[in-house]
């Protein structure tokens, strides 16, 4: 199983994490996972993922940040 | 709670862009009026040139930019459905533009008919805009302090417009409402609602979202987020009591109310600067520097007001209100607006292009849409123009260079924003060409 790619956007100025995520989606292999760490719930990213055929799962971490797992649908 | 933004409701890009691309042109016109009229425009706040410049800045620059942003912001932040945003923008944008041109020309030429035309244009434009906004904000399921403050700001805009239209109609008909209120009382209340109830309230509401989110600062303390808008509203209501005839003479009491309002504004500026000093990222981008400049101007405004109150020999000077006006308009509000435009336009470009191109054709990098060097250069010119404008209030002989510098700064801003719009159209055309090429090759 390929290793997950990580974008830690917690110290980045929005919308940089969104930009990086969209750039990474294009090269995401089937079965490969993109993991994002963010301080906010990325509603615009969810909309993009739904439109572009990706599935995602979001978890709230104990420090209040969000962990989002993205894969090709 | 971390605020969130939703982008599915965003109106077409042409809706906000028409407002953004018009706004700086009228700032440039205001600068040229100052350069043309010279020291005469700075004799007092009542000089025709000063009134014309002020209204070009507050209506055609600030109101244009704020209306354009709100059409976007309300849909995105409040998830509110705006009734036919394209139609609203098509009607409101030319009406505001025409209204402000009528008003500025009316002040310069002292022409009654133009005041009436301005009153009619503003009543129609703002009547429509405020109705659409009120409906959207009343129906939205979104909650939270930024939404409440946004509602208060729109109430402030409503009262500013009602008083402004009354004043313009009064000047246009040479009909005096002075049997009920003195013109000065109406102007005092109009200016207070316009600057504090509308513009500052809007900046406060927006900052609750954008300062922590985009500048990576801690959140504003919850008690402060409640106290600032509530305190400001209370001050404005007390200040408006001067419209009651039997309270018209309560000068000393009113002066205390104004000081309370100014202290609240100063507290907000200090809190924002304090948060910005504690941000998680050390690198200061152009938008952050614009916000800092705005907050320092607000602090300088508060200190100047208190000094003028304590030292009447300065406070009673005919040019003292101009000093405050320069700090408030180009200093506070234009700095925030320009800083935000440099973030909003590239982001809207990116968002709309991403929708069109999908993941197959990712949009260009947001940071390259308006070159950083061009933003920084324009910012330096903006603050240099602000310093020159303040110097021209002290030494009116500097009116010509101050006016030209301000005008040049606004034109440079326009150039930068047009550049961003061109990036959008170029990339959109590439997406369309690729789509039609793909359709052609798919044909048997």
The ipTM, to two decimals, is: 0.77
Contacts 24+ apart (CB under 8 A), B253-259: B255/B309, B258/B305, B258/B309, B259/B305, B259/B306, B259/B309
Half-sphere exposure of B342 (CA within 13 A, CB side): 29
Within 10 angstroms of residue A64's Cβ, the number of other Cβ atoms is 10
Angle between helices B145-173 and B183-192 (to 10 degrees): 150
pLDDT of residue B357: 85
pLDDT of residue B83: 87
Residue B113: exposure state from Cβ atoms within 10 A (0-12, 13-18, ≥19)? exposed
DSSP-assigned letters across all residues of B63-100: IHHHHHHHHHHHHHHS-PPPSSHHHHHHHHHHHHHHHH
To the nearest whole Å, the CA of A1 is away from the closest chain B CA by: 24
pLDDT of residue B280: 79
B185, two tokens: 């009382």
Query: What is residue B370's DSSP assignment?
Result: S
**Which chain B residue lies closest to A47 (C-alpha atoms)?**
B8
> Which A-chain residues 14-73 have CB contacts (< 8 A) with chain B?
14-16, 19, 22-23, 25-26, 39-41, 43-44, 47-48, 51-52, 64
Three-state SS for B60?
Answer: helix
pLDDT of residue B3: 45
A44 and B351 Cβ atoms separated by less than 8 Å? yes
What lies within 8 Å, CB to CB, of B107 at 6+ separation is: B48, B49, B51, B52, B55
- Block means of pLDDT (10 residues each) for chain B, 444 residues, are 52 93 97 97 94 95 95 78 90 96 95 94 97 88 83 96 94 68 88 97 94 89 96 96 72 86 98 94 88 98 97 93 98 98 92 84 87 97 98 97 98 98 95 88 76
B357 and B431 Cβ atoms separated by less than 8 Å? yes
Structural domains present in chain B? 14-241+254-436 (1.20.210.10)
Residue A59 has phi, psi (to 5 degrees) of -125, 140
Buried b (16+ CB within 10 A) or exposed e, B204-228: bbbbbbbbbbbbbbebbeeebbeeb
pLDDT of residue B179: 58
Q: What is the torsional sign of CA B102, B31, B205, B78?
A: positive
Domain locations along chain A? 5-72
CA–CA dist B10, B71 (Å, integer): 9
> What are the C-alpha distances in Å from B377 to residues B181, B257, B380, B382, B413?
47, 40, 5, 9, 10
Asked if residue A66 has pLDDT above 50, the reply is yes
How does strand A66-72 pair with strand A34-38?
Answer: antiparallel
What lies within 8 Å, CB to CB, of B308 at 6+ separation is: B314, B315, B320, B324
Closest residue to A14, CB basis, from B213, B355, B362 = B213
To the nearest whole Å, the CA of A36 is away from the closest chain B CA by: 16
A69 and A42 Cβ atoms separated by less than 8 Å? no
The correct answer on CATH 2.60.40.1120 for the domain covering A5-72 is: no
Q: How many CB pairs under 8 A join A and B?
A: 49
CA–CA dist B245, A62 (Å, integer): 59
């Amino acid at each position: 199983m390929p290793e997950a790619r990580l974008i830690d956007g917690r110290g980045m100025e929005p919308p940089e994490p969104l930009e990086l995520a969209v750039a990474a989606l294009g090269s995401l292999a089937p079965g490969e996972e993109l993991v994002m760490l963010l301080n906010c719930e990325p509603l615009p990213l969810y909309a993009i993922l739904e439109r572009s055929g990706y599935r995602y799962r979001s978890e709230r971490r104990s420090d209040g940040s969000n962990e989002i797992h993205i894969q090709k649908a | 709670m971390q605020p969130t933004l939703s982008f599915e409701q965003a109106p077409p890009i042409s809706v906000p862009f028409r407002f953004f691309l018009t706004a700086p042109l009228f700032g440039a016109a205001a600068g040229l009026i100052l350069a043309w009229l010279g020291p005469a425009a700075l004799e007092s706040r009542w000089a025709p040139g000063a009134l014309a410049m002020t209204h070009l800045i507050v209506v055609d620059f600030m109101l244009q930019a704020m209306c354009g942003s709100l059409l976007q912001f309300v849909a995105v932040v409040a998830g509110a459905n705006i009734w036919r945003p394209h139609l609203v923008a098509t009607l409101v944008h030319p009406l505001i533009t025409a209204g402000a041109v009528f008003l500025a020309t009316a002040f310069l030429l002292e022409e009654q008919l133009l005041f009436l035309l301005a009153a009619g244009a503003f009543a129609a434009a703002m009547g429509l805009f405020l109705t659409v906004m009120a409906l959207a904000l009343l129906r939205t399921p979104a909650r939270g302090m930024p939404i409440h403050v946004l509602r208060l700001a729109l109430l402030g805009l409503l009262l500013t417009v009602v008083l402004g239209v009354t004043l313009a109609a009064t000047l246009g008909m040479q009909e005096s409402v002075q049997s009920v209120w003195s013109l000065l009382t109406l102007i005092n209340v109009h200016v207070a609602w316009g600057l504090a109830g509308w513009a500052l309230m809007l900046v406060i509401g927006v900052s609750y979202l954008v300062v922590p989110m985009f500048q990576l600062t801690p959140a504003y303390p919850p008690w402060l987020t409640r106290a600032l808008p509530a305190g400001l509203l209370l001050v404005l209501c007390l200040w408006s009591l001067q419209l009651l005839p039997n309270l018209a003479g309560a000068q000393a009491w009113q002066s205390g109310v104004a000081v309370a309002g100014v202290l609240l504004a100063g507290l907000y500026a200090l809190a924002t600067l304090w948060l910005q000093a504690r941000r998680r990222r050390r690198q200061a981008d152009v938008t952050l520097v614009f916000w800092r400049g705005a907050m320092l101007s607000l602090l300088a405004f508060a200190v100047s007001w208190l000094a003028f109150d304590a030292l009447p020999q300065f406070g009673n000077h005919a040019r003292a209100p101009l000093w405050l006006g320069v700090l408030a308009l180009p200093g506070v509000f234009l700095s925030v607006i320009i800083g935000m435009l440099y973030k909003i336009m590239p982001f809207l470009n990116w968002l709309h292009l991403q929708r069109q191109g999908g993941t197959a054709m990712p949009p260009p990098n947001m940071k390259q849409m308006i070159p950083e060097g061009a933003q920084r250069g324009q910012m330096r010119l903006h603050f240099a123009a602000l310093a020159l404008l303040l110097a021209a209030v002290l030494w009116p002989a500097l009116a010509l260079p101050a006016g030209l510098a301000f005008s040049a700064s606004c034109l440079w801003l326009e150039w930068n924003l047009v550049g961003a719009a061109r990036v959008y159209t170029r990339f959109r055309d590439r997406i369309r060409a690729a789509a039609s090429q793909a359709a052609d090759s798919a044909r048997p």
